[in-house]
Structure 1
């Protein structure tokens, strides 16, 4: 048995959905399919939810009805083009019509009350995957397959109540996933499960945060004990660097869990870092494949490679970051100030990407750009004047990470990396290296990024 997860681009149009369904039909093994929302649907749901709370009451209904009509028609178009079986199409149309009506009611409530809570937003966002799972299951049935659409909750993914970034409860998944999915699988029915969304113990919709669909697939793979989790996307696999920056970026055919996790965490966009852990915990291989080039072998992620061919496997870049710099002589006299800062940010769902403390009176760390305003507000409210003299930002930066299992124990690798960066014109602002020695991350200004990435790739990948 395998899990096949299809991302937003893979289910982004009638033509793409037809390709994805053909891949599912061609796969002879038992499978569970996980789908994202169609391309840009989640963004559109987020945008309308945030927009209507600031709209005049007089225009809320007009805008909500317009949005309801657009999202209904987009999914109806797929059914009209791909589902020729009248009975199957009618059943699916009825379902998406019911979803569209529930979405309308929810948006109207949010708009009239001018209040969007994290719980309400999760419920609104859940419709993207609920629409797509019904559509994909209908297309599969029209092609002669037995298929049923399920939410993540119906498939056994139960989380805590941390709306917006819910965490799966392992004990619940252990108990529920097999019990809920195996009856379908034993009858030859392929389940089409919503990625990204689940529910808490009270059956209230939750979302798993960024990368949630990959995470859903990996969780189901773990608790079903599958032989492989496949991530079907719009690229051939994990590349040695960003091909938009380095023209001769190479496909990585084999990579370890740890390397893949670091690459995903530090900027590679093909998979999300948190999806690795469930598969890694039970040694299930993860294969990244291209929906539009299925004959390409893709990238296989495994526990450990049998042979390490090069010291450095890849160079990742993340431009979507900024550096927060906290200064104050009183910090040295304030017990556990770093712990208090990071606890505060963690409780407010701010992810610290990288940390560097240069002295007792200075603390620097890297966060996503989207969290900057929230972070500065929280820090000034809680620590301004309390041992902290200044809270500043260093913007227009990027984080570059050199990753490779072969770096572990290799003498002089850090010096060679920094020498290459310097020769390329980069000035390092921050540095971090984990004790695993599998990565070295640093921050430089954006204007030196392209030259630095190309120089590192040439020295450690091309010429290795």
Structure 2
């Protein structure tokens, strides 16, 4: 059996590579395993920060940061395999440091940080994790080979910061690189989150992109399974920090999991299921710190069980923008004009609703996008008489209720909104897609957690 195992940032910090070794070793040599690793927790944020500091000319901070980055990975070596291997590991880390240093100084001298340069810098945590991780695993007894996403054959488009994997090109490249390693009994250790364009320029796949790397490799290599290891027991019915009795969902369909990923379930990258969906490769979400504990398997079967709702998810820090205008009534293309202006700001519309009177349209966007969307609508449409006014409500949250069993089941919406109303919570906006698998609604930020608890309790999701 061929298995892709991805280990997240919390899974590889501290003595994490010992756990990685222990888990992977259980399945060797009977199976072929490809390991995908994330940067240690916090490294990507720090890399993005130092790139911006470099642009501002902070030369001393560059040197200090690189020292800290190398030291953090040397700590991993010491904790996992002992001090006697530090000199050898330091030589490897020093080469990686020099490569990153050249880019950071280039950014500083130019005083310019392009999306292309930012991708190169922000993906370097995964480069360190792959190379140093393979070194550690080698000392622990695995025949490990460290590879960047580019070296492993991950080919993407050139949408820097949120690149999409080109699966056909990746299939050819990844097979060429990885299959000989697997056939010879070696364990590739691939840095997640990164790839490269067909011209060889490094790209990143968006935050949490190591999931996407794992599933892309799973599809490219015709793997039997993909396992996503993190610090939680699979995908849960709700965030356990909000709902203490939240439980692990044993099974989800690809559609249900995709809905949850898009609406904020932290266990999955939104695009992670795209590569494996058509290939019907099951994805297991498991806990590195509790490897024998409960887990979630995601597959193509859309079985409706007795619980019509599977999970309740929460997106914080949203805002609602509502546009008004009598001239919108019966005027073809008005909604398209509104969305075109919103799209020109780079903002993502998470929800949209229009009244039957056609006199207003409401949109939910990220809180950080509210001001620029408002300004663009005022400038492009209100000032030209297309719209009468634009109103903004910030500090909002989106609650999403997901489950295949909701499709065609009468009374689900009534039950959701009755539960929320009983807690004295006002619903500001509602949207439901044609799939009927997701009902999303907007509430004030201060009411969000109570709304999640209300729905979770109403559908008894904490009960097995």
TM-score by length of 1: 0.92
Residue 422 (1) aligns with residue 421 (2): yes
Check conservation: 1:157, 1:168, Cα contact below 8 A. Answer: yes
Contact 2:247 2:462 in 1 (8 A): no
Partner of 2:6: 5
Q: Which residue of 2 aligns with 1:72?
A: 70
CA distance in 2, matches of 1:95, 1:231: 28
Output the CA distance in 1 between the equivalents of 2:253 and 2:289: 25
Q: Residue 18 of structure 1 corresponds to which residue in structure 2?
A: 18
CA shift digits 1:351-400 (9 cap, x unpaired): 22111123534222122234334434544554451323434421121111
1:48-78 deviations in Å (ceiling 9; x for gaps): 2223333xx4xx2211111111111111222
Q: Does 1:112 align with 2:109?
A: yes
2:444 is equivalent to residue 442 of structure 1: no
Distance 1:157 1:378, change over 3 A: farther
Contact kept, 8 Å, 1:429 with 1:444, in 2: the verdict is: yes
Q: Residue in 1 aligned with 2:455?
A: 456
Does residue 95 of the first structure (1) align with residue 92 of the second (2)? yes
Residue number in structure 2 paired with 1:43: 45
Deviation string for 1:312-365 (max 9, x for gaps)? Answer: 111111113222223344445875343344345556643221111235342221
CA distance in 2 between counterparts of 1:345 and 1:23 reads 47
Aligned length: 458
Equivalent position to 2:235, from 229, 233, 238: 238
Change (3 A) 1:110 1:361: farther
**Residue 459 of structure 1: how far off its partner (Å):** 1.5
Shift of residue 426 of structure 1? 1.6
Q: In 2, Cα distance between the equivalents of 1:427 and 1:268? A: 24
Aligned-pair distance for 1:241? 0.9
Task: Tell me the equivalent position of 2:370.
Answer: 372
Secondary structure (helix, strand or coil) at the match of 1:9 reads: helix
**Residue of structure 2 in register with 1:121 after alignment:** 118
1:399 to 1:274, Cα distance in 2 relative to 1, 3 A = same
Distance in 1 between the 2:243 and 2:282 partners? Answer: 28
Output one character per residue of 1:115-165: Cα deviation in whole Å (capped at 9) or x when no partner.
111111001112110001111111111011111111112222111111111
Matches within 5 A, 1:355-366: 355-358=352-355, 359-366=357-364
Question: Judging changes above 3 Å, is the alpha-carbon distance between structure 1 residues 282 and 256 closer, same or farther for their aligned structure 2 residues?
Answer: same
Q: CA deviation at 1:463?
A: 8.3
Does 2:159 align with 1:157? Answer: no
Q: Which moved more, 1:92-101 or 1:309-318?
A: 92-101
- Judging changes above 3 Å, is the alpha-carbon distance between structure 1 residues 214 and 89 closer, same or farther for their aligned structure 2 residues? same
Over 3 Å counting, the alpha-carbon distance change for 1:292 and 1:173 in structure 2 is same
Cα 1:360–1:140 shift into 2, 3 Å: same
Query: Is 1:184 equivalent to 2:173 in the alignment?
Result: no
* Equivalent-residue separation in structure 2 for 1:48 and 1:18 (angstroms): 30
Once residues 91 and 339 of structure 1 are traced to their aligned partners in structure 2, the CA distance between those partners, rounded to angstroms, is: 59
Q: Compute the TM-score of the two structures, normalised by the length of structure 2.
A: 0.92
Structure 2: gaps spanning 5 or more residues: none
Q: Is 1:397 aligned to residue 396 of structure 2?
A: yes
Q: Name the counterpart of 1:312.
A: 309
